Amino acid sequence: MIRQGLSTALRFASLRSRRRAALAYAALAVTLTVTAALALDRIFPPDLTRYHERSTEVVDANGRLLRAFTTADGRWRLKTTIDDVDPSYIALLKAYEDCRFDWHPGVDLMAVVRATGLLIARGHVVSGASTLTMQAARLLEPRKRTFRNKVIEAARALQLEWRFSKREVMAIYLTLTPMGGNLEGVRAASLAYFGKEPRHLSAAEAALLVAIPQAPSKRRPDRFAAAAQAGRDGVLARGLEDGVIDRALYDKAMSRPVPTQRLALPMNAPHLSAWLAGQSPNAAVPTTIRLQLQQSLEQLVAEERGQLTDKAQIAMVVMDNRTGGVVAWLGGGDFFGRAGQVDLVRAHRSPGSALKPMIYALAFDDRTLHPESLVEDVPVRFKDWLPRNFDRDHQGAVTVRHALQQSLNVPAVLALERVGPARFLSALRSAGATPILPPGDPGTSLGMALGSATISPLEMAGLYSGLANGGRFSLPQVRRDQPRPAPVQIVGDDAAWYVADVLADAPLPDGFASLPVALRERRIAYKTGTSAGFRDAWAAGYSANWTVVVWVGHADGTPRPGQLGRAAALPILFKAFGRLPGEDNRGTRPPADVLRVGSWKELPLRMQRLAPTAVEGAPRIAYPPPDARLELGTHDTVTLAASGTGRLHWLVNGRPIAGTSWTPDGAGEMRLAVVDDTGRSSAVLVHIVRRQ
Active site residues: 97, 353
Q: Are strands 284-286 and 183-184 parallel, antiparallel or unpaired?
A: unpaired
Query: For residue 286, how many C-alpha atoms fall within 13 Å in the half-sphere facing its CB?
Result: 7
- Report the 10 Å Cβ neighbour count for 2: 6
- How far apart, in whole angstroms, are the C-alpha atoms of residue 586 and residue 52? 46
Expressed in percent and rounded to 5, the helix, strand and coil fractions of the chain are: 40, 15, 45
- Alpha carbons 583 and 5: distance in angstroms, whole number: 102
What does the alpha-carbon distance between residue 340 and residue 313 come to, in Å, rounded to a whole number?
9
Cα torsion angle, 76, 107, 92, 167, sign: negative
Q: How far apart are CA 670 and CA 688, in angstroms?
A: 7
The backbone torsions φ and ψ at residue 159, rounded to the nearest 5 degrees and listed phi first, read: -65, -40
CB atoms within 10 A of CB 59: 21
Q: How many residues does the chain have?
A: 692
Q: Report the distance separating Cα 266 and Cα 65, nearest Å.
A: 7
DSSP class per residue in 305-373: HHT-TT--EEEEEEEETTTTEEEEEE--S-TTSTTTTS-TTTS-B--TTTTHHHHHHHHHHTTS--TT-
Distance, first Cα to last Cα, the chain: 163
Nearest to 502 by CA among 523, 525, 521: 525
For residues 534 and 505, the answer to whether their CB atoms sit within 8 Å is no
Q: Rounded distance, CA 473 to CA 99, Å? A: 59
Name the nearest CA neighbour of 195 among 185, 203, 205.
205
CA-closest candidate to residue 136, choices 109, 110, 166: 166
Rounded Cα distance, 672 and 655, in Å: 9
Where do the H-state alpha helices sit in 604-661? 605-608
Which string of b and e fits 154-173 if b means at least 16 CB within 10 Å?
bbbbbbbbeebeeeebbbbb
Dihedral sign for Cα 279, 282, 285, 290, please. positive
